[in-house]
Structures are given as structure tokens and as C-alpha cells.
Amino acid sequence: MDFSGKVVVVTGGTRGIGLAIVKKFLENNAKVILFGSRKDTVDKALSELEKLGYKAYGYFPDLSNYNEVESVFKEIYDKYKRIDVLINNAGISANKKIEDTTVEEFNNIMNLNVNAIFNTCKAVVSYMKDRGEGVILNTSSMVSIYGQPSGVGYPASKFAVNGITKSLAREFAPFNIRVNAVAPGIINTDMVKGLSKEMIEPLIKSIPLGRIGETSDVANAFLFLASPLASYITGVVLQVDGAARN
């Protein structure tokens, strides 16, 4: 899993699953550029990585603004002369019932979880085509397959992510650009760590493997799909959920 010489861009890379993905690729010798929502969160993540002995780079573009996204990708390409892997991990969730959800809240979810992926893919694909290869990976979710009892915007956006993944896989295949997604289940992020024992135990019982997933489990899936070991895999939504099927 040696990514020496490879340039990897990770959106939503400042914490949680995104930061775990960044660390995993740095461990495997990639040059990593992480995107965050604000300068302070980007600086904090870069500082944390530096303390661990890693050197990464960061930007904080508005992913819903195509012109801003295009400008940042051009700057990255002009600097490194290549972009090998794009990982679209930025996103927001929702859990309100539909009657409590404003139109603005729904639109915000779609902007970051769907429109941003369109923007980054559109901005990066010409650079990958020029090199004759590339990998695009999107973060989906188990709710993209099963839905959820409230917060309709989140599963709707992740269903869309799966559609983007499968469609672009077919569109980009002639250019040797693979497109896949990873659909995590219940993962041990800060949000899950903050749940009470009474809430955690039923969650664990619902997972056949008998444990909550770790961010490293998800990061390993991204690393595999980006590697030559997955050279004949495209258009796949890989579930990383311990067989938790609902």
C-alpha cells in the first residue's frame, strides 16, 4: 500500500472519519491535502498531524461554490502537477422530522452532501483524464440503503451520492478513472462516544460482528479502494457496517 508520489485530496478531513482517512494515507507515504470548513479547523488538524510526525497541507474552500472549488484544485494541480485520488468525505447529517425541518436546512444538506461532490468531481476530472488515471471515492452511509426514521435530507443526499458514484464510474471508466463509495455503519466518532451506556449497548447488540466500527475500519476501506488491489473495482458502494443491515 505504498502511495509514494501520489497526491490525495480529502474533503472533510479535519476530524472523525475524514481525519482518520488523512492519517491512513499519510502512513502510506501519500502527499495529502485536506479540506475543512474553516481556517481554524484546518490549522488545528494540521497541527495535530504535525505532532504525530506527519506533514499535510490544507485549504478551506466553500465546496458549494464551484468557482472557488475550481480555483483551489487548479492551485493544487499547478503546484504538484498531479491529483491522483479525490476523497469526498465532507458532509452534514440530520435527524429532525420533516415537519420540523426548514427548507433552508434541507437545502444546506443537499448543498454540502451532493452539490459539493458534483463540484469537486467536475473540477478534478480533467486533470485525471490528462494523466490517464485516477480514483474518486465518496463517503456514503448505511442510511443510503435503508433510510432512517427521521432526518429525510440525510438519506436522500446519500442515495444521491450512490447515484453519482455509479453513474460517474461508467462515464469515467474509458479514461481509467475509478469511482467508488464507502458506506459506513455505526462508527466510533465523537458523536457516538458521547452517547450514554444505555444507548450504546442496544446499538452494539444490533451489529452481528458485536462491536461498533472504528474510524480506522473505514479508513482502511478507502485505502484499499484507492490502491492497485482494487484496480478492477468501480461503481461499487462498499458497506463497512459489521453486517448491521437496518
- Name the DSSP class of 212: P
Burial-class residue 41 by CB neighbours within 10 Å (0-12, 13-18, 19+): middle
Instruction: Tell the CATH superfamily of the 7-239 domain.
Output: NAD(P)-binding Rossmann-like Domain (3.40.50.720)
Is residue 182 helix, strand or coil?
strand
Task: Give the rounded distance of the alpha carbon of 66 from its chain centre.
Answer: 18
Q: How far is 179 from 112, CA to CA, in rounded Å?
A: 19
- The gap between the terminal CA atoms of the chain, to the nearest Å, is 32
- Which positions are catalytic? 154
Residues of the chain with confidence (pLDDT) below 70 = 245-246
Please provide residue 235's backbone torsions phi and psi, each rounded to the nearest 5 degrees: 80, 20
69-119 pLDDT, tens per residue?
999 999 999 999 999 999 999 999 999 999 999 999 999 999 999 999 999
Predicted pLDDT of residue 246: 60
* Class of residue 145 by CB neighbours under 10 A (exposed 0-12, middle 13-18, buried 19+): middle
Residue 6's nearest CA partner among 76, 89, 90, 91 is: 76
For residue range 205-221, list pLDDT tens digits in order: 989 999 999 999 999 99
pLDDT of residue 32: 98
Spell out the domain ranges in the chain. Answer: 7-239
Q: For position 62, what pLDDT does the model report?
A: 98
DSSP type of residue 30:
-
